[in-house]
Structure formats: C-alpha cells, structure tokens
Chain A
Amino acid sequence: MSTYEKPRVGFFTDTSVCIGCKACEVACKEWNLIPNDEMEWTGESYDNTSELSANTWRHVTFIEQRKPLRLDGETAGLAEVQEQPEPLRWLMESDVCKHCTHAGCLDVCPTGSLFRTEFGTVVVQEDICNGCGYCVPACPFGVLDKRHLPRKADDTPLALPLLGKKEDGRVWKCTLCYDRLKGGHEPACAKACPTNSIQFGELDELRERADQRLAKLQAEQWNGARLYGRDENDGVGGFGAFFLLLDEPEVYGLPPDPVVPTKHLPRLWASTALASAALFAGVALAFIGGRE
C-alpha cells in the first residue's frame, strides 16, 4: 500500500431495514449540488425518480409484492392491519453506483477522466470528461449517464460552436462523496439514513457485518434474503457498494450476473487482429485472378 492509498471503503446497503424515506436521495442532491431532473408521477409505487442517472446518484426502488415477508408465518403485526387475505410485502432498496472492483466504465474511459481513488472508489473527473459516452453502455448496471441540462454560464465556451450541443454533455455519477472522504466524513447518504440501511465503512468490515446480518435473517426465515455483490469472484470482482436483497436482483432492476465487458477484451482484440489480417488478405485476393 502506497503512502497515499487508504483502506478500501464502500457501502453495505441492507434493504431489510429500508423504510423508503428517500433521505439518501435528498442528502445526496443537497451535498453534491445535483440539479433537478424532470420528474413525473410514474404510478410505480412511491418511486418517481425511476432510475440512477446523471442527476440521481441514490435511487430508492419500491416493489409491492404478494409474497410473505417471512416463511415462518411471522408477519410483524401486519396481518391485523391488512384486510387482504394474501400476504403483502413492500420492498425498498436504495440503489447506488457499485464502485466495482473491475469497473467497466473506468476500463473503457478513453480520456482517463474516470479513475480509481486512494479509497478504492471510482470517480469521474469532470474537468477531463469530454462526453464521449462510452462508459454509459459499458456499465453493466446502467449507472452512468450523460447530463442533458443546459450548461452553466461560467462553463468553458465552445471552441467549435457549430458542432456543439449547448448542454452540459458530461457524464456524472456517485463519487461516494470523495470530498467528504478526504475530510474524514462519511458520505452524505449514509449520514442521513435514519435506519442504518446504508452503512458506510471499510469494505472488509462491512462484508463481515453483512455475513452476520444475512445469517440472522436466514435463521428468522426471511423470504429470499441474499447478499448481492458480496462475492469477490463474481463477474466484476465484487462491488465496493453491495446489498442485502430480499428477492432476485432483477426484481429491483439489477442484473442477475453482471460481468465487466473488458473480461472478454483479450479475446476480442485477438479476434479484431485476425479480422484485420483477413481484410488484408481479402483485398489482396481481389488483385489476383480475373483478366482485365
């Protein structure tokens, strides 16, 4: 570990205690000065932010299910207030950038704008990003997006006014509050979370805590409890920000088995080299045979 390197930090988001208050969304917006996004009433439970985007770095999902919360028949007193014969459970999960061990966005960024910090997190340097957009489809979780809002007055003027679109044009995402970390503070969302659903800390410690929590929930027969992104051998080498979920990942809009695109890159480059050689050979072939 170099002088500047710090222990790797991250989030453990325990959805079993999330109450869907969205304090994390608000705290994130406030601290990071994130502009408003065009929200509409979606009719999708209490979720009107809908997805992680350039202007939403914490996103609380709401899922209303006809499934028992626990398999031992315990309903936490909800049976009396629910008039429906079927059990109801309401899942909430505060989604965030996963700060992957093997980050697709960082790998494909052609400018070096995306980098790994001394805390092991993945951050966009906004003075470097030129808005090429490659990281957007390279993220297996759909976290990154281009900001389409108008530029600010003090932004650098366009060198090529004919070609430019007069919007921010850069890519934005969760920085895990890089500035707060540097000052020794926990990220704004974790600070604001009233139930400790969002836990910030050193990743090794968070993983231990998550294992204990999962064991407890499984002993109590919570329906579908599992850790997501805890496994260091998964397709992205484990998440820096991982989750305890109560159903399949795709129920929350998360990929079931994410893989960093660059995992296949050595083979892809080999294939590209072969295709290049074939292009040489093919065009050369066009010069032999056939009399003029």
Chain B
Amino acid sequence: MSVTERGTHMDSYYGRPIVKEPVWQPEIPFYFWTGGIAGASSVLHGIARLTGNEPLAKRALYIGAVADAVSPLLLISDLGRPERFLHMFRVFKVTSPMSVGSWILGVSGGASNTAAALELLGVLRPVKWAAELASFVTGPPLATYTGALVANTAIPVWSEARDELPWLFGASAAATAGAAALIATPSENAGPARRAAIGGSLAALGLTEYMEKKLGTVGEVYKHGEAGKYGRIAKAATAAGAALIAARGRRSRAAAVVGGALVLGGELALRWSVFKAGFQSAADPKYTVITQKERRR
C-alpha cells in the first residue's frame, strides 16, 4: 500500500506491472529517427526546389531517400515474423496508426526513392516531378505519425502525452533533416537547413520540457533510469549543436558539420529517451493506477 502526493491510496499485485512493456526492439527508436529525417527532408527538398535552391534540394532528396530506404528495413527486422511484412498491406485501418503509417511510409518511401533514382539518372522528368510531389505531401505525416503511434497505447507516459508527442516528433524531425542537409550542403546554399536545424532543435527542447512538466507524476520516468540518461544527453547535445550552428555554422564548415552531428545525435537520444520511458512507465503499476484513479475523481 502506498499513498501518492495527492493522497490516492493504491495497492498492487506483488508490485507486478498491469500493462505489458512493449516488445519492440531497438530498431524502433532508430526508425522514429530515420522516419523523421526522411519525412522532414522531403519537405526541405520540395521547398528548396520551389525556391530554386538546387544544391540544397538535391542533397535533401538524396538524404531523404536513404532514410526512407533504411526505415522499412528497420521495421521488417523488428517483426516477430519478418517474412510476413507484406501482411501490413492486407488492410488499411484508420484505427491503427501503425497501419496508416505503413501505408504512408510505403507511399512516401517509394516516391522519394523513385525521385532520387530518376534525379540520378536524369530521365523521365514528369514521373520524377510526380514522385517529388507525392513524397513532399506525405513527408510531414511520416515524420509525425510515430508520435501518434506510441500515444495510442495503454502506456501511461505515452498516452498521457498524446497532445504533445506528434508535435515533439515533428520538431525533432525538422531538426534532424536540417542538420543532415547542413552537413552535406555548401554554406552558401545551406541557410534554410541551418535555420531548420536551429528552429527544430529549439522547438524540440521546449516541447520536451513542456511535456515532462505537464505529465506530472507520470512524467517522473523521464528523470530516472535509461529514459533520464538519454533525455539528458538529448538536451545537452541538441542545445550545444544548435548553439554551435547559430554562432559559427555560417562561416565555418567544421562548425556546421560538428553542430549538425550534435543535433542528429541529440535527437536520436531523444527518441531513445521517449522509447525507454514507455518501458519504465509500464514496469511500475503505480503509474497506471494513479493515472486512472486521479482521472476518475
């Protein structure tokens, strides 16, 4: 028997969890990261092309295509039955963010890789434009649906953050796509990538703080264990990277590369932190009981 800060009494069954911990492997937080890079790179690519920034457009296209190609491999590898990955496309279910997401990734990834291949070969320009448009439109949902995916569970620290997670993942995606493009693009063309990296980083840092505050007791998992460790790495690396890019990223290529790498690493740590927080939140029944009892009152 324990009593919470708000005076809620709770028992448990030998301290055992009520909800199951996810069975997802490390591939999944990596995918959240690559999917974010892919989705936001499609947007960066599309707007760069529209504004005539060809060097940036090309690099963002290739970066997005690589991230889009790696993503399904990570997801297939995580399946308990990898040989059945095509079963994801048996149905389309709007009640399942994973089903919706599989279709988005299928369309977006197919489109960006088609566009990148045609760009490389310099053929079939109308098809390439159509593919670019498709990847441009499906990019943002690809970057944000993963937030909805984890929020649509019974894991308290995820489901209680349902208003923040799609935004946090979207901001993180913008930061990483900007950072990746910044590393690859010459300084004179990298302005938008720089600003996307800095802006995305600041938004992700702010949203993380806001989410943890709002979660209250349930959010305390972000202070402890692996979630806490990766969360602290995420904040430090992202802040340092964004600061370095802001201060020296324009003049110094070295600063742009190091700053970009710090942001990329920091945001990977952020995905890890959110991922691990879910496990920690499931492992202790008090989070499930407190959330439900204090909601009911």
Contact = CB atoms under 8 A, between A and B. Distances in A.
Interface of A: 42, 44, 47, 50-51, 61, 63, 104, 107-113, 128-134, 136-146, 156-160, 163-165, 167-171, 247-248, 250-259, 261-262, 264-265, 267-269, 271-280, 282-287, 289-290, 292
A107 B96 contact: yes
Given A163-B82, A273-B141, A287-B192, 5 more contacts: A129-B84, A130-B88, A253-B14, A276-B144, A290-B195
A251 B13 CA distance: 5
A165 B76 CA distance: 11
Nearest to B173: A279
Nearest to B83: A159
A52 B140 CA distance: 39
Contacts of B102: 110
A232 to B, nearest CB: 17
Contact of B144 (A137, A169, A261, A275): A275
A279 B166 CA distance: 10
A134 B17 CA distance: 18
Given A253-B13, A264-B162, A108 B192 contact: no
A101 B288 CA distance: 21
B144 A272 contact: yes
A128 B278 CA distance: 27
A67 to B, nearest CB: 11
Nearest to B1: A251
A164 B189 CA distance: 43
Interface in B240-289: 278, 282, 285, 288-289
B19 interface: yes
7 contacts: A137-B22, A142-B20, A157-B83, A170-B81, A250-B285, A280-B43, A283-B196
Nearest to A247: B11
Nearest to A42: B14
Contacts, number: 273
A258 B94 CA distance: 22
Contacts of A250: 10-13, 18, 285, 289
A81 B200 CA distance: 70
B233 interface: no
B170 A275 contact: yes
Interface string B127-156: 000000000000111011101110111110
B292 A257 contact: yes
Interface string B79-101: 11111110110110111111100
Contacts of B53: 287
A109 B97 CA distance: 9
- A-B pairs, top 3 by smallest CB distance, nearest first, are A131-B80, A169-B80, A253-B13
B80 A265 contact: no
A136 B80 contact: no
A253 B199 CA distance: 44
Given A137-B19, A139-B20, A255-B19, A61 B80 contact: no
B5 interface: no
A285 B199 CA distance: 10
A127 to B, nearest CB: 9
B47 interface: yes
Contacts of B78: 132-133
Interface string B182-206: 0000001101111110011001000
Contact of B18 (A47, A142, A165, A282): A142
A279 B139 CA distance: 9
Contact of B145 (A47, A253, A272): A272
B206 to A, nearest CB: 13
A45 B232 CA distance: 41
A286 B102 CA distance: 29
B286 to A, nearest CB: 9
A137 B154 contact: yes
Contacts of B188: 292
B98 A287 contact: no
A110 B152 CA distance: 13
Nearest to B86: A130
B140 A280 contact: yes
B121 interface: no
Nearest to A287: B192
B8 to A, nearest CB: 10
B44 interface: yes
B48 interface: yes
B66 to A, nearest CB: 19
A137 B148 contact: no
Given A140-B154, A272-B145, A290 B191 contact: yes
Contact of A168 (B40, B48, B80): B80
